[in-house]
Amino acid sequence: MAAFSDFAGRPCPAWFAEPQLGIFIHWGMFAVPAFAPRGENISDLFVNDYENAFARAPYAEWYWNAMRIPGSETAAHHAKHYGGARPYEAFRDEFEAAAAAFDANAWADLFAASGARYIVFVTKHHDGYCLWPTDVKNPHLPNWASERDYIGELATAVRARGMRFGLYYSGGLDWTFRHTPISNFADMFACVPIDDAYRAYAAAQVRELIARYKPDVLWNDIAWPDKRDVPQLFADYYAAVPDGVINDRWMGESALFHSVRAPAARAAMNASVKASIAKNGVGAPSRAPPHCDFRCVEYSETAYADQKWECTRGLGLAFGYNANEETGDYMTADTLLKLYRETTTRGGNLLINVGPRADGSIPDVQSTPLLALGKALKA
């Protein structure tokens, strides 16, 4: 069995180490309701209303979570537009009908024109729905995956244009396995499924993604159900993709995840996190994990001087498409170029996100600054 020490001293591959632009893509069933509160970014919410930050988050891709929290703006929206009784799962048919219009080549053309060198596509977000026809069946929702291979189509289109292709996977949250409402950080860690069934499921799906698509970037989110499984997964990935890169969100402290399910422990963790935010702010540099090829910062401009890093955020305040956002909530061409220059001059990569509509179309308010950035980079 592999150990984290096996990767000690592994340099960040040269292709990724050079400061550059990447494109993140959050697309899925959440693009059907396409709603989240607007006006406050996630970092400000953790400062101003920590206990309810995720309930009020502008993250449209978290719709299923926020709609289940009584009194939330999303719950009120769901009650008004869907009668309150419609389950999130019912959005699937509408999404798949709309997604028939998906055009991988149109996306790839836009990304190439923006000057991006690599793409990271969300394969499975926290709602557990898979955007590829997986052979690893979900024991709770057995057909919770698309028949069409959106991942494969985009991989082919992106690579045909000379860009690298990476994959995102939500290893730490899967609401088809465990879905206790999440309002703050401790709630989130208490929601990580740590049972053997999920450990096996997540590991099998990531290995399937590696075998089928050979992703240049392996981008996990939130955490991993158990750290004992991580070193061998890394070893298998590097064997398949020798110059691939892995991000830093693989914390697998299953004992911690289990402990914070108790209200007292959850309250203690929240108190500790709030104290840290009050002292250091949101997005302060965190301790390095046992192994990663790069660090991630989200809606933050924190830079890591001693390790390769990547700044990620949406063009608006959400990653998934939020029809509730207004034009002024989005970055302009000038603000995007400024962020790109600030990030890359400090050695970071900018992974800027697009949130397509359910039919796969990318709104002009997102594509326009990307195209302007591409022209500036060529100039």
pLDDT in tens, 288-315: 899 999 999 999 888 998 899 999 999 9
Give me the pLDDT at residue 68, please.
Answer: 96
What digits encode the pLDDT tens for the residues 72-125?
Answer: 999 999 999 999 789 999 999 999 999 999 999 999 999 999 999 999 999 999
- Whether pLDDT at 53 is above 90: yes
**pLDDT score, position 283:** 76
Q: At what angle do helices 230-240 and 196-213 cross, to 10 degrees?
A: 10
- Would you state the pLDDT for residue 213? 98
Per-residue confidence band for 206, with pLDDT thresholds at 50, 70 and 90? very high
| 234-278 residue pLDDT tens | 999 999 999 999 999 999 999 999 999 999 999 999 999 999 999
Instruction: Give me the chain's average pLDDT, please.
Output: 97
Tokens of 169: 């996977």
Whether 285 shows a pLDDT value over 80: the answer reads no
Give the pLDDT band (50/70/90) at residue 174: very high
Domains, the chain, in order of start with CATH, read 21-378 (3.20.20.80)
| Per-residue pLDDT, 39 | 86
Structure confidence at residue 204 as a pLDDT band (50, 70, 90)? very high
DSSP class per residue in 62-121: GHHHHTTSTT-HHHHHHHHHHTTT--GGGHHHHHHHHGGG--HHHHHHHHHHTT-SEEEE
How far apart CA 362 and CA 348 sit, in angstroms, is 26
E strand or H helix that includes residue 245: strand 245-246
* Residue 313, beta-bridge partner list: 352
Q: How far apart are CA 101 and CA 280, in angstroms?
A: 46
Q: What is the pLDDT of residue 141?
A: 95
For residue 95, what are its two tokens?
């999404």
Question: Do 138 and 145 meet the contact criterion of CB atoms below 8 Å apart?
Answer: yes
